[in-house]
């Protein structure tokens, strides 16, 4: 426990991904979003749902997000897409007072950075009882719609924020999205039920609230 705290002693900025990081994946919020993504792709490109679902996953793998693929290959306008896919039911989310307490106890700035939109992120935070805890919330729109894991996306958001990566930590459920932060000098934490052992991952946790309690 002391070793964990020691490794984070220089950190004064804490950057959190949103989906499946600030809420556990078993709440299955992203399942709703994936259905709406497929629906949007199907209607916009005028293709059947099976083809649309295939493109959704293919673009996510190739470009980092389905949206990035739609923009690159079909010139899709990002804002209507973001509005549509994030129009979901937030009732599966439950407040987490312990997580809120442990985030509040962290020294320095607290930031959310998501490949979703800022308005969507703020709704998730409110449903989780985490509203008002973060100094800033950044969405994909702040990165000029470039997605994580692109390093340019991180650089753009951190430039806006004035964040110094060498004094920051990144918490993410997608291992791909920790590669660029690691290259930039950030401390990286993979938040997921199953660990993945990669050189760009410093720590893994399947319980974010507990892990943060080691750092306060």
DSSP 134-150: -SEEE-GGGGTTPPTT-
173: buried, middle or exposed (CB in 10 Å: 19+, 13-18, 0-12)? buried
Does an H or E element contain 37, and which? helix 29-45
Round to whole Å and give the CA distance between 28 and 93: 9
- Average of per-residue pLDDT across 141-168: 97
pLDDT on residue 2: 66
Could you give the dihedral angle defined by the CA atoms of residues 126, 123, 140 and 103, in that order, rounded to the nearest 10 degrees?
A: 10
pTM for this entry: 0.94
DSSP secondary structure, 46-110, as one string = T--HHHHHHHHHHHHHHHSSHHHHHHHHH---HHHHHHHHT----TT----HHHHHHHHTSSSEE
Q: Is the pLDDT of residue 1 over 70?
A: no
Beta bridge partners of 110: 14
pLDDT over 70 for what percent of the chain?
99
Beta bridge partners of 51: none
Rounded to the nearest angstrom, the gap between the alpha carbon of residue 152 and the centroid of all alpha carbons in its chain is 16
pLDDT on residue 199: 96
Nearest to 212 by CA among 19, 18, 28, 21: 21
Q: Which domains are seen in the chain, by residue range?
A: 2-24+93-213 (3.40.50.1000), 29-85 (1.10.150.450)
Round to whole Å and give the CA distance between 150 and 133: 27
Q: What is the pLDDT of residues 72-98, one digit of tens each?
A: 999 999 999 999 999 999 999 999 999
Nearest to 92 by CA among 32, 172, 18, 17: 32
Q: What is the mean pLDDT of the chain?
A: 96
pLDDT on residue 216: 72
pLDDT on residue 101: 98
Q: Is the pLDDT of residue 132 over 80?
A: yes
């Amino acid at each position: 426990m002391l070793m964990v705290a020691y490794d984070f002693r220089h950190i004064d900025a804490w950057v959190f991904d949103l989906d499946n990081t600030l809420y556990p994946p078993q709440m299955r919020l992203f399942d709703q979003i994936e259905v709406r993504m497929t629906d949007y792709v199907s209607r916009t490109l005028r293709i059947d749902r099976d083809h649309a679902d295939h493109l959704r996953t293919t673009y996510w793998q190739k470009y980092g997000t389905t949206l990035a693929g739609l923009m690159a290959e079909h010139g899709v306008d990002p804002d209507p897409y973001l509005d549509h896919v994030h129009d979901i039911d937030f009732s599966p989310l439950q407040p987490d007072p312990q997580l809120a307490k442990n985030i509040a106890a962290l020294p320095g700035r607290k930031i959310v950075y998501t490949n979703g939109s800022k308005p969507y992120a703020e709704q998730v935070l409110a449903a989780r009882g985490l509203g008002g805890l973060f100094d800033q919330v950044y969405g994909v729109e702040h990165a000029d719609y470039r997605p994580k894991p692109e390093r340019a996306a991180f650089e753009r958001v951190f430039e806006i924020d004035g964040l110094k990566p060498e004094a920051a930590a990144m918490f993410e459920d997608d291992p791909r999205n920790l590669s660029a932060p690691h290259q930039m000098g950030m401390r990286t934490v993979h938040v997921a039920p199953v660990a993945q052992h990669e050189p760009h991952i410093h720590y893994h946790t399947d319980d974010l609230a507990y892990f943060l309690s080691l750092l306060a």
